[in-house]
Amino acid sequence: MAARAESAQAVKTRPPWVDLLAGQLLALAGAFAFAGAIGSIIIIAYGQDPLFIYSTVWSFGTSRPQDFALVLENATPLIFSGLAVAVAFKAGMFNIGVEGQYIVAMSAAAAAAVNLDSLPAIVLLPAVILAAVLAGMAWAAVPAVLKVKTGAHEVVTTIMMNGIAISFVAWLILNPLHSTGSQVADLRTDTFPKGALAPNLAQSLGLEDRIPDSVVHLTWLFPLSLIVCAGIWFLMFKTRLGYEVRALGSSSGSAEAGGISIGATQIKIFLISGALAGLVGLNHILGDTGYLGSNYEAGLGFAGIAVAFLGRNHPAGIPLAAILLGILLRGQDGLAIVTDLPTEILIILQGVLILSVVVAYELVNRALARRQQRAVGLTETPRKAEA
């Protein structure tokens, strides 16, 4: 009996976050090991050395400053996209419409850039970013209101809004936003004025000799994404709205019984998700191309779902997950150059990794729950004996 009491006291004195952190690290290590093993089997089937392939992927993303800058450039929109998905998921909602929201936001940013070109740069760039954020919020407001007022499921409505967004932006590029320059043959807007472009990070820090502008388009949008991550962490864990969102995501019935307005909270968090989605495409048009064309970068909204899952919907995990996917994206170039392997192998590896992480975390959470139940039993038994 004394031994059980001592064991219960040890469990009681250990902070809960220690078990949680250890469990998450164990789950992550197991998921990486499993995904690496599956990838190795596929690579061996192609007659290649897995260690050489993995080292090639790693070296192409980290060997030189400009290589890692490309990784961060790839990660920047994924961070915004992952945050947009994660904040909605925290409330028990699925914003599958990040894709459409950021496409519409890019068109709003382009319209602001070409029509407000007389403004000074210190005003123009914030106006362009604000236009994108407001457009993302407006596009997200439709499924949010339909969810609250009619009960329409947000997965269905956001998917439908994605299709509408693609057609709407295509019409904008073809008509009101179409370039007026005689030298432009493809479907695109006018080139943005320099004041509307995001400042280059290498130039600002005096590193253009180590990271040439012609090689990388890493802008101050990457540090902005980290600042936004910190802001979302504060919102979720230090404000009343964040508490309401987490309570709603855990149990809508208990949240409503506690006096939380379900509909108002859902609309608020969906608007925040749309605002984050509005930032996704800015790295493409303000840091890379300098205009919005019909061949804009697509698929970033759906990639955000993978980032959110890998990052466990946490503002601290999402940047790490985005950088990991950025390394894999950069590694595809390496495989194409030095091997004859199909680059789709990394896409398969990414899918296996996401599935492994989800399963591993679920197993660890169940194990921690059982351990807590045993701890409760250990603490109650000595009390009964004393009584």
- 43 belongs to a structural domain: no
- 312 belongs to a structural domain: yes
Same domain, 320 and 385: no
The DSSP 8-state label assigned to residue 193 in this structure reads P
Q: Collect the ranges in the chain with pLDDT lower than 70.
A: 1-17, 20, 182-185, 208, 210-216, 375-387
Per-residue pLDDT of 157-207, as tens digits, reads: 999 999 999 999 999 998 899 888 755 567 889 999 999 999 988 777 777
Same domain, 220 and 369: no
Same domain, 263 and 383: no
- 41 belongs to a structural domain: no
* Residue 206, Ramachandran bin (φ over 0: left; ψ between -120 and 50: alpha; else beta): left
Number of domains composing the chain = 2
Domain interval for residue 368: 1-28+362-387
Same domain, 272 and 381: no
The DSSP 8-state label assigned to residue 76 in this structure reads H
Same domain, 258 and 111: yes
- 345 belongs to a structural domain: no
How far is residue 296's CA from residue 249's CA, in Å, rounded to a whole number? 34
How far is residue 242's CA from residue 87's CA, in Å, rounded to a whole number? 9
Same domain, 17 and 115: no
Structure tokens at 156: 């269905």
**pTM of the entire predicted model:** 0.88
Same domain, 86 and 9: no
200 SS3 class:
strand
CATH assignment at residue 183: 1.10.3470
Q: Is 346 exposed, middle or buried (0-12, 13-18, 19+ CB in 10 A)?
A: buried
- 289 belongs to a structural domain: yes
Same domain, 8 and 95: no
Same domain, 183 and 250: yes
In contact, 341 and 46? CB cutoff 8 Å: yes
Same domain, 18 and 115: no
219 beta partners = 200
Same domain, 164 and 307: yes
- 44 belongs to a structural domain: no
Same domain, 84 and 178: yes
- 164 belongs to a structural domain: yes
How far is residue 283's CA from residue 197's CA, in Å, rounded to a whole number? 9
